[in-house]
Amino acid sequence: MTLDRWIAAVFLVLCLVYGYTAFFTMDAGLPPFMKRNPIWPSTFPKILAGLGIICALIVLVTSKPTPIKTDEIDHRRLGEYKLGQAFGLIAMMVAYAFALRPIGFIGSTVLFLAVSGIVLGERRFHILIPVAIVAALFIWFLVQQVLGIFLRPWPWFM
């Protein structure tokens, strides 16, 4: 089985679990007055699960083995790729999620963007740091002021 079929099979299993959760467990705790609504909180997850299952099945049915080109990822040479950077970024994403409350949105976002840029190889700090600060402030402004969703911008002690 080719790599894209394996990925589609894993994606299919994830969508099936997500769909089971959306169809059977999310609606059990709805209050009685919401059961008459045409759109429930589980409507969008049901649509996403259905579309994901359809896409995974299309890939599983239609994919054919193709010869590997030199510029494509070869799963037989996976050790030659920069897996350390990829796992480092995943670890930083988890650390970012845990740092949001104690450090605040702006501080943790600036730190995440700057450190991830360094891990990916950016060495022009005079560009990296201001871009991270401007991006964090812009995202905070959009979420806080435009969307009206409260994000704690500063650390817990401020």
129 with 123: CB under 8 angstroms?
no
User: Does the residue 78 lie in any domain?
Assistant: no
Distance between CA 63 and CA 146 in Å, rounded?
43
pTM (whole model) above 0.85: no
Six token digits for residue 43: 């409507």
pLDDT < 50 stretches in the chain: none
Same domain, 15 and 63: yes
> Among residues 25, 40, 67, which one ends one of the domains?
67
pLDDT digits (tens, 9 = 90+) for 12-31: 999 999 999 888 887 777 77
Per-residue model confidence (pLDDT) at position 82: 76
Per-residue model confidence (pLDDT) at position 17: 94
| SS3 state of residue 64 | coil
User: Does the residue 126 lie in any domain?
Assistant: yes
The residue written with tokens 């010869």 in the block is: 67
- Provide the residue range defining the domain that includes 58: 3-67
Distance between CA 139 and CA 105 in Å, rounded?
10
Question: Which residues have a Cβ under 8 Å from the Cβ of 27 and sit 6 or more positions away?
Answer: 40, 42
